[in-house]
Amino acid sequence: MNRLLVLIALTGLIGCGQEPSIGNDVATDAAPARTFTWRMATTWPKNFPGLGVAPEVFAERVGRMSNGRLQIKVYGAGELVPPLEVFEAVSQGTAQMGHGAAYYWKGKVPIAQFFTAVPFGLTAQEMNGWLLHGGGMALWRELYARHNLVPIAGGNTGVQMAGWFNKPINSLADLKGMKMRIPGLGGEVFERAGGTAVNIPGGEIYTSLQTGVIDAAEWVGPYNDLAFGLHQVAKYYYYPGWQEPGPTLEVIVNQDAWNELPADLREIVEVASLAMNTDMLAEYTARNNAALTELVEVHGADVRRLPDDVIAELKRISLQATDELVDESDPLQKRIYDSYVTFRDNVIAYHEISERAYINTRDPARAAPK
């Protein structure tokens, strides 16, 4: 009781702006807060709508939330390192942080693709469920620890488009011999369907389509595809985005740099990343429709649905390719696969009677009174 009275008395003194007679040692002994200046390498063109602006906003927020103790300078694709070398650069400490997508590193870590997008796999909402409340994040951390990295979910575009094609796709035969920019497992599936897949950075898609280096390309969806002007170099715009139903983007942090951060700054980085993860999906949800309208009505894009038999075959190949991705001799890969597949099967079962059932009621054709 006496201690409580002393505390109340002290609080009263401080509140009145008077120097307390004891307790000055607390202030004088506190070490000045250490400040950190980090580089963040990204895979996106500098300030590209959505993808490239998001890490800039993230860095500004971290600066404000930390009261300037953690300053992050963001580099666009190629400014610090080439876009597809971000993983290696952050792993080695050339940059303390990176922003990109795990499937860009499939040549180095094939199993990492589960943490971006699996064809015919989880949607954005479901990826967040798996990563943040379904055990996925712990597995991602365990996998990336092998590469001296700490991953954090850092963005999602929602369901993408199947991409831009320079000729109509009427059957599977039309895919054969076609060269397409399509990264990740989607690229593997496209190859098995008879095409050739290339993994080129976003900033090179327009020129590659224009010069005929590729015949087709998937990038993101209307908002981002319009920004690149892809409608100027290919006519046919196909959906649905079977290859990327809800790709998660990643913030990656060099493990040694992470270890140096005090706990409060780590928390700030994590929370700012998760804010970016949510905010990006909201941005795409808000922008895609208007961009699609402009693509069709102003620029004459020919929007088409992939034929049912093409989708069915791509799905058959996708499930096979997903199963074969796992190196069974590595127990961690098996655990990642089992976790993803179990979550997928369970969430699909419930979403049949929730998400899908509800969305079907909004379909004008289905909603019309009989």
Torsion of CA 157, 161, 164, 165, to 10 degrees: 150
Nearer to Ca ion, 43 or 322 (CB): 43
Pick the closer one to Ca ion by CB: 76 or 163: 163
311 torsion bin: left (phi>0), alpha (psi -120 to 50), beta (else):
alpha
Min dist. Cβ of residue 223 to Ca ion (A): 12
Is residue 72 within 8 Å of residue 62, measured between CB atoms?
Answer: yes
CB of 184 to Ca ion, least distance (A): 8
Based on CB atoms, which residue is closest to Ca ion, 204 or 270? 204
Q: Are strands 70-75 and 36-42 parallel, antiparallel or unpaired?
A: parallel
Task: Select 134 or 154, whichever has its Cβ closest to Ca ion.
Answer: 154
250 near Ca ion (CB under 5 A)? no
Rule CB under 5 A: say whether 244 interacts with Ca ion.
Answer: yes
Q: Does 85 bind Ca ion (CB under 5 A)?
A: no
Closer residue to Ca ion, CB minimum distance, 98 or 187: 187
Minimum CB separation of residue 246 from Ca ion in Å reads 11
Contact 221, 148 (CB under 8 A): no
Residue placing its CB nearer to Ca ion in the complex, 75 or 104: 104
Shortest distance (Å) from residue 353 CB to Ca ion: 29
Alpha helices (runs of H) in 104-221, residue ranges in sequence order:
124-133, 136-145, 184-192, 205-210
Three-class secondary structure of residue 74 per DSSP: strand
Q: 215 or 218: whose CB is closer to Ca ion?
A: 218
The Cα 97–Cα 144 span in angstroms is 13
At closest approach, how far in Å is the CB of 158 from Ca ion? Answer: 11
Stretch that binds Ca ion, among 81-89, 218-226, 248-256, 328-336 (CB under 5 A): 218-226
Cβ atoms of residues 160 and 243 within 8 Å: yes
- Helix (H), strand (E) counts: the chain: 15, 11
Burial 49-70 (b: 16+ CB within 10 A, else e): bbbbbbbbebbebbbebbeebb
Candidate ranges 16-24, 73-81, 239-247, 287-295; the one touching Ca ion (CB under 5 A) = 239-247
Residue whose C-alpha is closest to residue 195's, from 155, 220, 167: 167
Of 219, 287, 207, 228, the residue nearest 247 (C-alpha): 219
Report 26-65 residues binding Ca ion (CB under 5 A): none
Least distance from C-beta 334 to Ca ion, angstroms?
27
Q: How far is the CB of 241 from Ca ion (least distance, A)?
A: 7
* C-alpha–C-alpha distance, residues 195 and 217, integer Å: 12
- CB of residue 160 to Ca ion, shortest distance in Å: 5
Residue span 150-179 as binding mask against Ca ion, x where in contact by CB under 5 A, dash where not: ----------x-------------------
- Which one of 65-73, 241-249, 306-314, 315-323 is the stretch in contact with Ca ion (CB under 5 A)? 241-249
Question: Residue 280: enclosing H or E segment and its boundaries?
Answer: helix 263-297
Binding to Ca ion (CB under 5 A) within 115-154 occurs at none
- Residue appearing with tokens 């202030």: 27
Residue 211 structure tokens = 């010069």
Q: Tell me the number of residues near Ca ion by CB under 5 A.
A: 3
Applying CB under 5 A, the residues found at the interface with Ca ion are 160, 218, 244
